[in-house]
Every structure is written in C-alpha cells, then in structure tokens.
Structure 1
C-alpha cells in the first residue's frame, strides 16, 4: 500500500495520490504552521510508475516537466528523512540517473529525456533548485606536476559512460565533459594528485652487510616500492654504491624512512664471524677447483669480486677462501658439487700381429778344407753354417762319411748334406738346400691401464734408444776432435688412451697406438749395429671410438706387404749355365703382416668394482705362476706388499 503524506506549516494542503506518498508534518510542524515556514516531505515509494513519480515532483516543486514518451518503468525510493523542494528535485535527478535517464532545464521547463548524453547546460533560469549542477559542462584542467596521460588513467574509471575525458600532452592539460557536480568532484581529486614531488636523497653507509646483498633482499621484500622509476609517490629509488659499500635512496620522506628502518635491521653483524674458511677436498684437485671458482666470482673484475679471495693449498689439497657470508655459502655449495668421486675406466688391450711369410730357398753349397793345420779351404760356395760345422770337425774322428739325415735333424735349415773326411785330413762337403716356411700369428702385447674418467693414460713397453742428432769437429793444437750429439727416443709399443663416459654405459675412447721397432740397417761397426744409425719401423693408429661397458672392439688392421729376393754365388762359376746352379743359392721371401688392436673398456663406479677387477687380473697372473710353482697357491694380492709374493 502506497501512501502520500504532506504537511504544510503555512496551511495544510491535501495533495495525496492514492497509494504513493504519505505526507505528515515534520518535527516542530505545529509551531511552523504559525510562522509560514518551508514545507518538507518524507518520500517512500515502491514500484511506483516513473511518470507518476515525475508528476508528483512537478507538483511539489511547482515546475513544469516535459517527459520523453520513451520514459517508462517503475521506481522505488526508501527514505526516513524530510526533504524540502530542492532536495526533492535532487532526488528526482538521482532517480533518473540511476535508471539511465537525464533532465535538463530550459528556462522554467525541465525536460526529461532517455539519452543522458543529450543533457546539457542551456543557461536556463535560476530557480534555486540547483538544476545547473546537473547540466553537462566541459572543463579544462591544467596539470602542473603529473603527466596529463597519467591523470586520464586514474580518472577514466570514475567517469560515467556519457562523460568524456581526454589528455593533451602539450600544454599538459586534461579536458573533462560531465555533470557540473561530478566535474567539481573530479577537480578535487586532481588537486590532491597534482602536487609537487618533493623528494630527498639519503646516503646510508653499510657497516656489516654487503650492499649488493641488501639490495637483493629489499627487492624481494618490497618489489613495488623499489626501482628507478615508479607510478606512485611511494616508490623509492635504491642505488648500490659498491665502491664504498653504501646505499643511495631517493624518494619521499615517509617511504624513504620505511626503507631506512629495514636497512638498519639488515646491517647487523653476521651470526658467523668467520670471514675465511679452509675447505678440504676428498676427490677433486684443489688447483682445478680454484680455477673454476675464480672464473665465476672474480673474473669480471667487479667491486664485489675484489672482496673475494680463493687460493689453493696443494700440500693439503684444500681451498682457502675469504668472502662475505652469502658468497661463502655459494662457494661451499659449488665445492660440494665439484668434489665428488670420479668414475674409473679399465682399458684392456690386445695387440696381435698376423703374418704370412712365404720363404723359398734353393741351392747347392760345396766346400773343402785341410784339417791338418791348413786354415784356408780349397773351395767354398757360401760358407753356410752347415758346411762350416762340417769343415770345422763336427764329425767324429776317424769317420769317412757323414749321415745327411742326421746332419739335417741337427740344424735349423732343412736340406741334404754329405761329406768326406780323408785320413790325411782333406775334407769335402756338399749341402743341397730346399726350404719353404709359413708363420701364422704372434701376440705382440696385452697392455692394460686404469684411469679416471676424462683423464689421459699412457702405457709404454720398449727401449730407450740413442739416435745421432748432429755432429761437429773441433780443432786444438792442430788435432781434429770429432763430436756427435745423440738424442734418446722411446722405441716399442705405446698405448695412449683417454676415456669419456657417456650416459652411464657407453665409453668414448680417444686412442693413439704406436708400434715401433728397430730394423737391421745393414751397417756394422765395432761389435754390431751403430746405435746412432738405427732405422725404425713405425705403425700407428690414431682414432676415436665408442664402446659399451665391457664390450670388446677391434680398431682395425695395419697391413704390410714385404717381398725380398737374394742371390748368393761363387763369382764366375755361379753364372755358368746349368752347371752354375751348383755354385749359387737363391732366396725369396714374401711377408704380409696385419697388425690388429683389440680394446675392452670396463667402467668401475665403486670400490667394490675395483676390488673385483683387481682380483680377476691378479688371478690371471697367479694361474701362470702356479704352473711353475704350485707351492704358492695360498698367496693373496696383499702378500705382494708384504714381501711374500715370491717367497
């Protein structure tokens, strides 16, 4: 049920419309009737037709209203306050604004329209009801301290849809279009924002804390208040002066004071007073770790790096470091990750030479000598070892012939030999040689070496041989003194390998294998070969391969094909056709050699793996030893270090 109550202090007037308002005299209304005071209304409406609501306001204010025919709807107003005519008119304007409508005055007539953007100031009459405050006005606001574009960002959310705001960079002004009352409110907001930025600079030396660490903490604690620039007055610019370990703060007094209070709490003595520490290493080398740490902390030459010192102690395999507590903690973490037990790799190699030698020797050797004291034989074709032995008396005294079969079996060169020993001492011998040989294979070496991952290992089995590197002659007192310079070189089998473990199971091997041996140069002097004139034969494999843990691989073969022919004969007689074969010997050698290298890497990740591998290799040696000396079957590997390995 809607009610209308109206109370007039001058004379009561019944102006009720059924069901809408209930008007009653306000407080002190009985006394106001005699004084003809301004009447008041207490308005309450529920789901009232908006046109009826406008009609009643027209009756109260005494102003005519022109209502747009599109104005429709209902309104609800709840109030316990008594309103005069001006307040009732303001209430109507608020109701219209809430429902998306608007009103503007043209003289005494108030126009109610549907589109609030049509509401504008017309300079209409002044009836004391504040119609001008609801008129649309345009205001230009000059900003003195804040950029106009920043003001637009702040004010746009509080301007209604029908309002307008724009920024002009030069001359830094804001243009507003809105109701007059809202323009006044916006101008008050701008006045509070557009104030001078009164900043101060503060230099805060630090006594205990490192300036870079303090700045890092401040950025985490108050990220929105720190920075070189910021959107609001609470931003403080913090600059770290590492040269003298001080902070430079720039900003307004209050936020600077807050940051200073936080800095005071951070610049206190550290819990640990140890500025230097000695870090013992269990596995890594101190020099290598120090090189890495210096590259990380001091290589850039920064002020902070000048306060850090890291040195190795090779005798203790330790690191001596001095730094601020934060950096020291980082150093300790890095050392812990670097000082780990490294995986080892056992590389076992087998170097085999497969050779096929075709040797063919064919010839006849004749010789004779007088054993009665004459040292010069009557004739001899080649002075073969067999004939020499024959002529030297390798037959029993008194024998008149030599058994050819017995002679062949007692020599290394197969053939047929006969001889005649005269009682007077004249000896005669003849040998027919026919030889063919074939050699199969030979295991040159089976070296093995244990090394760390990514570390080079070298195994050499051979001789250190002198080679002539130069010669010169000095003269003193007319006497020439020749001198020769000699340089020594390792000759033999050299295995150099560097393992790299990948993904825990495969091993990449960088292998350099050299097989070098001496070759007979044919030069003799003194008691044999001239060492400085030696000739070497060298075969080499330089490669990189990938093998799985425990897998045997072959690196490849080095094939050598050697053909040699030689002829031994008696001058002139050996060249006689047909008969000359009795006075010459032919030798032809064909040699093919293939050098094969087999490798087997074994990854040893723990002490148990090393122990098992050591026992396996030791047992292999023991098998050879027990074949010769079975009484040492109870020996253990540790006995080798206690002097009982060969007892």
Structure 2
C-alpha cells in the first residue's frame, strides 16, 4: 500500500489484500497487518506491548488497503480498546484507550463459513459479502426476521458487505438466512430465447403478456422486485425476447403463442423484403431448387388468371429468391402470406445433413488348389456357432453379416490361419450426397517413350521420357442416407502394386485390381466382397552342376519345381451414420482412444 494515512486511513492505495490470522497475539497482529501488509510505520505503547489478547481475522475476498485499514481500526478500538493516532510524520501510535468495551474479546471473521468457536458469550464479528442482492436490502430483511435477537447489523456499501456482531449461535442463524435470500431472482427457472421475424421485440413482449394474463398466468414484462411465474425480458438491441418460467411446459406454450402473434403480423405485410439466414445448409444449394418450384407455381397461377381475365396474384420474376453468399442467407420480395409458405418449406429443408463414416478393409487371401475364391475359404469359418452363407452373383461372390463385429471376427480367424494379409484399412467421413476420395500409396516412375538417334560424330543419343504413376489404394465413395436409416453407397476401389520386371525391361509391371459397385446397407451393417483374383506362375531347377543339364539323363541329377500362386482381394465395407455433432464428437473420442491403446500396447 502507498500513501500516508490519516485517522481514517482514506489515503491508502494499492492492490487488494487478503489476510488470515488465527489466535495471533495483539502486538503480532498489529505488526503483520499494519507494517508488513500495509507498509506503515508504527509505535506500540508500553501498556500494549505485553498484551495477551488474541486476534482471529479471516477475509476470504481481498480488500482494498483503505477498507482493510478502516475495518481493522474499528475492531481494535471498539472491541480491544486500542486507539490509533498518527503524528505529523505519519507514524502510527497504538495505545490502550481509557474505556474498554466489556463485550469481551471478539472473533473477527470474513466470509460465510460458520465461526469455529466454543459456544460462549464471546462476541463474534463477521464480514459477509453479498453475491446478488444489495447489502442494504438484506440488512432490512435480517432486521425483520431476527427482531428481538441480540444481533448488530451494519451495512458497508464500499465493501459490498454486511458486518454482523453477536454470539456464535446468532451469527449462524443470520448466515443461514443470507444464503437463502442472496440468490438470483430467477434462480432455478427454465429459459428460452425467441427471435421475432416481423414484430418488434417490445411489441411481442406486450402482446404475449396480454395473452398469458388473459389465460390466468402471472406474467410480467421486464425486471420486477416481485417476480411473476413468467418473466418476459425484451432485448431491444438484438431484437430477442428472453422468457423465464418455472415449468418447461409453460415455455412451450409461450413459444406457440409467439409464433402465432408473429405470423399474424407476417400475413399482414402486402409487399416487402423478407430475409432468412440458413443454419445447417448452404443457401446456394437450396436456392436453385426453391426458385424452380416457385417459377412453376407462378406460371400456373398466371395461366389460370389469364383464362379468367384477371391479373395474376404474384409478379413473374426471373428468380424470386436471391441468395446472399457472405451471410449464407436468402432474400425474397413479396407478400407476407406467400413468404410464410416459403419459410415453412425452407425451415424443413434447413436441417443438418447427415454424414457417413466409411470404413473399408482390404485383405488379400491366399488360395489353394481346391478353393475357387477367398469368400469360399472364409465361409468355412463359423462365428458363435453360426455358419456364414455365401452367395454367388453375376458381379462376383459376396456375403453380408448383420454387424461389423461379426465380420471382423471372421477376418481375425482367417488372419490367425496365416492365409489372410491385411492390405489397408482407410476410414473416410463423407457428407450425404457428396463424394469422398482417399489415396494411400506412392508414385512409380514409368518409361513411357524411348528414342535413339545417330549424331554427326557417329555416336548414338538416347532420349527417354519418364512418367509417374500412382500405385497403392484409391478409394472413392458417394453415400446417400435415406430417411429410414439405410445408406446407399457407390464405391470405386482401386488397388495397384508393382511387380519386378524382367532383365530386358526397364519398366516395372503394375498389377491393378479395380472394384466398382453400388449397394444399400443399414447403419453399422457390413458387406464382404470378393472376386478380384490374381495368379502368378514360377518354375525353377536345382541339382548337380553340369550333370543336371545333360539331355534326357539330366533329369536323374536335378529336381524341377513349378509353383502357381493364386490370391484374391476381398473388400469389407462398413458405413456408420453420423446424425449430429454429438455423435461426431463421440466417434472422434472413440477413435482417439483406440489409437492410444495401439500406441501403449503395440
């Protein structure tokens, strides 16, 4: 703290100070508070140096230095008989007063915690800071509620607090009452925000108040000391109406009446500009569709009016609706009744577009001579006592399991048999009706052109042209989520890999397998597709050098080997519908937890 104090300490400035003393001897209390905390010079009179009085002071919230000085000075003078005076140099002198109050040594506490003192006649002095209500109002209520009780109540406006002086039992009762009274006026109530489209927010609040009161509800507009069952708070700057009520069902009724009142004003507009800001979709995407619908209606009305010899009700315009890109909004000019119909349609279309998490698993199954396909091999496994029934179609072999877990269990069994190699497991989130693409692989240099020429000196020049080709996994998916929860999928899958080229070729061989299909699955349902089979042959010889190459007899000294490798690429697809942002967050957390488990245990 800075400054030289007068008798009241009003010149002290600085940062707020928090103090906490418990049974501190009076001289130590004076030294710590006035010298160490407030930075003041002082002198203790001889009649106080050996004082055994104890001081307990707790202030939960920091106080300004001047307020702390005045509070401590008052307590010392009124309850400890200590008088403070300052000389010309600003040095404080603490001395015993001639008359000391006989109320006993008090306990000084700040905050709402009950004082921990024995139930004696010792006076408790407690500072209670109010949170919501004004100290003056609480002081009046306490005086009426605790009339006839020995309790001294003083308001400290500069602190926003109340000083309570009395016995421990009385202080406990006063604090309990303050906890009940010092609450927000609308505490525990439910609230909604209503945005009028046509009415002014003040006019809507007045009309709703009239309607609700006519129904017998206790309602009020604006703040009132006596809160009603329904409180309407108009916010003029933002043109929004905040409504509070004890029952959520009442708020629903208020919303319905607000829509009715606003719609009546809307229908009364004969010619005006109307504005709607989209919340979940792009205005540009829906504007073309809505303009086509409105144009057809306007042309039909114009033809009907021409037959009856009347003027059309609506004017023919090129585009009735105009979208505003920067605000993602749409503008319309016309009458309010027609706009009401259009707005209802827009609100039904302005819904969050569902997303789909597509999980695609690529696995390569090694085939034996007896197996025609990898699906046939996988179908031999049973899950939970049930066999898998494969189906042969014109597009290949596929089977479907009800859950993704069953399909994964099937692949896990095959993987443990060392017959299945997992190639890739891409995951892709795509918005319904949009296309998503993912590529994981590398670029391989391919010799695309080679030319040779003879120069003047007779040397040969070779010109080569190299191109790079993508190899790896390419996935392109277009999902469409139906209202019944089914997902239509269009899938284009490409898997390519390089094979070693012969000695005479500088370009590697690229093995490519493509899959294009469309299907309909339920949310979380999986399908396993196959039929992309590749075959490679190799042969070799081993035996005694020289003798193994002798015609006819060489077969006795060598062993000929022939190997035929057949593999099939199977694809598993699992769609998960993400309806809203909450499901998206839950799915993200689930994937993150899976990655954390892999990082810790693999």
- What range describes the TM-score normalised by the shorter chain of this pair? 0.3 to 0.5
Structure showing greater radius of gyration is 1
TM-score for the superposition, normalised by structure 2: 0.39
TM-score for the superposition, normalised by structure 1: 0.37
